[in-house]
């Protein structure tokens, strides 16, 4: 069923505490943790606790959780002190975009100048 945990999903396992992660923030509906292979000095992933394969299906199926992910992206940026300079929020969607984990997630990237980042 849409939104239900998936047994084969890495990020559902992080939500369940079955796989360790460096969690920086948690709410009733989201978990934020450091990316294991950071692409910037600050690289945090914000995920909904509910399982949807990507951001668009999350927004369609659970708009409240989608809003919570966006709000938390901003809270992470403030907590990590990357909001002053500016930061990037990325939702890769589909294998052709580079998405490798099919549980909706926001990348929050910052801590260096991203003006020329591709």
Only segment of 1-9, 23-31, 59-67, 97-105 that touches ligand AMP (CB under 6 A)? 97-105
- Smallest gap, in angstroms, from Cβ of residue 112 to ligand AMP? 17
CA–CA gap between residue 12 and residue 104 (Å, rounded):
10
**Residue 35 binding ligand AMP, by CB under 6 A:** yes
Cα–Cα distance measured from residue 81 to residue 100, given in angstroms and rounded to the nearest whole number: 28
Query: How many residues interact with ligand AMP (rule CB under 6 A)?
Result: 13
Angle at alpha carbon of residue 22, lines to 26 and 93, rounded to 5°: 75
Binding characters for ligand AMP, 40-69, by CB under 6 A (x = yes): -----x------------------------
| Cα distance between residue 66 and residue 51, in whole Å | 11
| Annotation marks residue 107 as catalytic | no
Kindly indicate which of the ranges 48-56, 57-65, 77-85, 98-106 contains the residues binding ligand AMP, using the contact rule CB under 6 A.
Answer: 98-106
Distance in angstroms (rounded) separating the CA atoms of residues 46 and 55: 11
- Catalytic residue annotation: 105
């Amino acid at each position: 069923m849409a939104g239900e945990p998936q047994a084969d999903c890495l990020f559902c396992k992080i939500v369940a505490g079955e796989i360790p992660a460096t969690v920086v923030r948690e709410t009733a509906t989201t978990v934020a943790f450091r990316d294991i292979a950071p692409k910037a000095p600050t690289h945090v992933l914000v995920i909904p606790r509910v399982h949807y394969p990507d951001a668009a299906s999350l927004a369609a199926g659970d708009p409240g959780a989608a809003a919570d992910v966006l709000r938390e992206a901003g809270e992470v940026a403030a907590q990590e002190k990357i909001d002053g300079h500016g930061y990037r929020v990325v939702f890769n969607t589909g294998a052709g975009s580079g998405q490798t984990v099919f549980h909706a997630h926001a990348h929050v990237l910052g801590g260096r100048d991203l003006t020329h980042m591709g």
